[in-house]
Structure 1
Amino acid sequence: MEIFARLAVRTMEGARHERHEWLRDLSQSAPCLAERPPAPTATGTGSRRLLRLPAWHRQPGGQEHAVGGHEPPQHRPVPEPPRPAPATPRPDDGRGRGPGRRPPGRQLRQAGRGRQPARRAQRGRRAADRPGHRLLRRLAGHRRIAAARDRRRFDVITHAVSITLEAYTRTTQWLGLGEPHPTLVGGELWYPADEAATTDRRIFAQLAEQGLTSRRAVSDAFEATLFVMQRSAREYYTYATVNGTSVTIRATAVGRDAVLMIAAGGTLDIEPIPVDQLGIHVVTALPDTPAARVRPMTCERTLLDALEHGHRPPPGPSVTDAHDMRSWLHLERTNVGELHAAIRHHADGERIVTTPPLSCWIDNETGRALLTHADGWVHVSSAGPGEIAQRFAQLEDRLRSRQPS
C-alpha cells in the first residue's frame, strides 16, 4: 500500500510539472501569439488560478472554459427590475366601493349561474345592508333595461294585473325608480324598521300571486312596465269623481310600449295597450255614458261670470248661449273629471304638464259633454269617445308648441 501511495504522488507531481512546462513554452512562443488574438489573462490567487479566455473561446451560453480542471467562475446575479409601488386603495365611502368590495369568486359563483346572476346577488347584498330592506337581498337582483331603452322596445307585461297601491309604491322603491307618480299616489310611504321586513314579504307574496316575480325577484316584464309608468315620454290622464269615488285613469307611453292604469280605492289595475291609442283607452275606461243631447254653445268667460253673480249682461250675440250654458251647468252631475296631458322634455327630461284653465268632461241627465276654455271663451259640446280622445291630442300639441327647441 505504501508503494502505491508513492507512485500516485509521483504521478500527480509529474502531471503538474508537465502542465507548468507547457504554459512556459506557450508564453515564450512570440511569433505564434502574434498571429492570434490576445492571450488570456490569469485570474485568481494561490494554486487555484483560472484563465479568462477571450470572447471567441467562450461557450454559447456565456460560460467560460475552465483551465486546469478547476470549477468555472460563478456569474454575478442579475438584479431584478424595480417593482412598481402598490396603488393607493380608494377610501371606502360606505357604498361598497372601497378595498375588497368584490367577494371571492367562489361566493359569486354560488349565488347563481354565470356572471350576471353573481352581479345581481352582489347588488342585492349591498342593498340589503340598509335598515328595513332585508328583503332586497332577493328583490334587488333585477335586470338593467338600458339595452331595451336604446332599442326603444320593452318587454312589458302581456296581460292585465291588479295590485294594491302600497305594492306599487314599495316596488318602485325596491327597483330604484323614484317616488310614486303623483297622479296615482299622493306621496311616498314610510314604514318603521321593524315593520318593513314583514310588509315586504307580504307585498312580494302579492306580486307572486299575480305572476309578477321570477326566481325570488321582480320579473323583468313587470320591471319594464313600471319603468314605462314612471318615466313616460307622453301621457294622458284624468282625475275623476265617479259615483262619489275618486278615480285616476292614466295612459303612458315610452317608445313603442304603452300601459293603462286605473287607480281607485287603494287598488291599481295595470293593462298593456297599443301605443297609438292612449286617448281612446282612457275614454273607454270611463263609465259608459252616451253623448249629451245638447247643442254646441260658446260664450265669453266674463259674460258667464256676470250671470253667476246675478248681473244683467249687456246685449250681444252670445247672451243666449250664456243663459243656456248656465242652465246646463247647474244640472245635477253624476260623474265629472279633468283632462290632462304631459310630455317629457327631449333635452333635460323635465316633465311638462297642462296648466289652467283646464278641460273637463261632465255627465248629467242629458249625457256626457265636454267643457273647454280657449282665449277667454268657454265652449260646451256633446262628447263621445272620439271627441274626448281628440281633445287629449290637442292638449299634447299645445304642450309641444310650448316646448323650447
Structure 2
Amino acid sequence: MKRRSIQALVFLATASACSLVGCKDDPPPPPPADGSAAPAGSGVTKPIRPSTTPDPTKVARISPETMKRYRVETCYFGAMGIRVARDAYLASMKDVTPSEGHLPEFGDYPDPNPKAMEARPEKTDETDKPAKGPKADMKGDRKPMRGARQLPFIRHVRACSIAKSLKVPAYEGFDAELAEFDGYVSEVQKLLLDATRYYGREQYKKDDFARGKVIDERLKTLLPELDAKLDKFGKAVEAWYPTSKRGDEKLDDAAKASVDAVAEARKIAVALLADPPDAEAAKAGVEALEQKRADIEKAREADAAAPHPRVMLPRIEAFVAAAKSGMDKGGALDAASAGALADAMANLIEADQRGLAQLIRRSSGGGGRGMMGGHGRPRLRGDDDKLRAIRRPGGEPTPPAPPAPPDAPEPQ
C-alpha cells in the first residue's frame, strides 16, 4: 500500500513539472539565413518575394477624350465609303427587283495591301495546288462572293455605335447629332452586310429571293438619303472637332509626330472631299504630311522599338497615294475616289490609335497583347488572378484552368 502511494506521488510530481515546462514561452527558431524554405511545422513563414508582373489596376489607360475622338473620326470618314456601295447597288437594281437575271452589285474597292499581293508568288509548284480530300470536295463549284472584298467601310462604320455609347466626355448638342446619324448608318451597314452574305452564299436559291426582296425594298428607301445624312452629320463634326481635345497621354517623339501627321492628313481629306474640292490646300497639305513622315522616320532611328513608325508609315504612304490620285481628278471626286480617300483617312486614324495603345502598354511595363482589353483599355482581373471553380451539375467542381503561357514578344 505504501509503495503504491509513493508511485502516485512521483507520478503527480512528474506531471506537474512537465506542465510547468510546457507553459514556457519559447521564442520561434530564427529563419534560415540562406532564404530557403523553413522546415514544415516550424511556424516560420517564408518571405514573399515582390512580383515582377505589373499591377493591371495601375496600368495607364487611353483617356476618354482621346478614345471618343478616335471613334467619332473613324465613324465620320468610314461612313463616306458607303457611297461606293450605294452607287453600285442602285445602278444595278434600278427599276428591277432581285432575280436570277438581276443580282445586285456592291462596288469595287482598292486592295487593302497591294504590295503584299504583288509580292505573292504565283502558284506554279505542285505543292501549291489545292489539297485533295473530303473538305475540298465539299466546296464544289461555289462562286466567290460579289463584292468579295467585304465592304471595307463596315468596320469603320461600327465605330458610330461605340462613339454613341461613350458618355464621357459629353458634348451637348453634338451627342444628339451623333445618335441620330448612328441610328441611320447602323441600319444601312447591317443591310449591306446581310445582302453581301445573302447573295454571296446563294441563299436566294433556298427562298426564291424572298429575303432579298425585303432587303432591296429597305435599301432603296434608305440609300437615297445618304448624302443628306452625311452632309448634316459632317457639318456637326466640323463644328465639334475644334472643341474636342486629346487626353493627357504621355507621348514619345514618334507619337507626337504621328498626331501631327493625322492632323495634316485630315486637312487634306477635308479639302479634297469638299464640294468643290480645294486642290491647292490639298497640295500644300501633302507637302506638310511628307515632312511629318520624315519626322516619324527620324524618331524610328532614335528608338527602333517605338510602335508608331511600324503602324503609321505604311498608312501614310497609302493615304498620300489616294490623295494624289484625287488631286489628279481636277474637279469633284467621283464616289470611288472619294471612298478610297475616306477609307485611307480612317485607316490612318486607326493606325495612330493602335500605336498609342502599344506605347501605353510598353511604358506601363506590360508585356503581351493580352494586357489590353476592349476599347484600348487594360483588362482588369481579381487580386488573386485565378479563375473560380465552376461546379458541374451533380458533380465535383470544375478545376481552375491552368495559367496561360506568356505572350510572345511583339515583332519589331
User: So what's the TM-score if we normalise by structure 1?
Assistant: 0.22
Larger Rg: 1
Larger RCO (CA under 8 A, 6+ residues apart)? 2
The structure with more strand, counted as a fraction of residues:
1
The structure with more helix, counted as a fraction of residues:
2
